[in-house]
Amino acid sequence: MHQMKKQLTVILALLALCPVVRAQSAPERFASALASGKPVMVDFTADWCMNCKALELAVLETQPILEKMDEKGVVSFMADRTKEGDASKFLKQLGADMVPTLAIFDPKKPNEPVILRGGYTRSTLLELLDKLEVESP
Query: Domain 2-131 falls in which CATH fold?
Result: Glutaredoxin (3.40.30)
pTM: 0.76
- In the structure, what pLDDT confidence band is assigned to residue 53 with cuts at 50, 70 and 90? very high
Backbone angles phi, psi at 132, to 5 degrees: -65, 125
Mean pLDDT of the chain: 81
Residue 15 is given by DSSP the state: H
Query: Which has the higher per-residue pLDDT, 35 or 59?
Result: 59
> In a 10 Å sphere around its CB, with 0-12 CB exposed, 13-18 middle and 19+ buried, how is residue 83 labelled?
exposed
CA 108 → CA 67, 76, 111, distances in Å? 21, 17, 9
CB atoms within 10 A of CB 78: 21
Q: Where are the domains of the chain?
A: 2-131
Whether residue 36 has pLDDT greater than 90: no
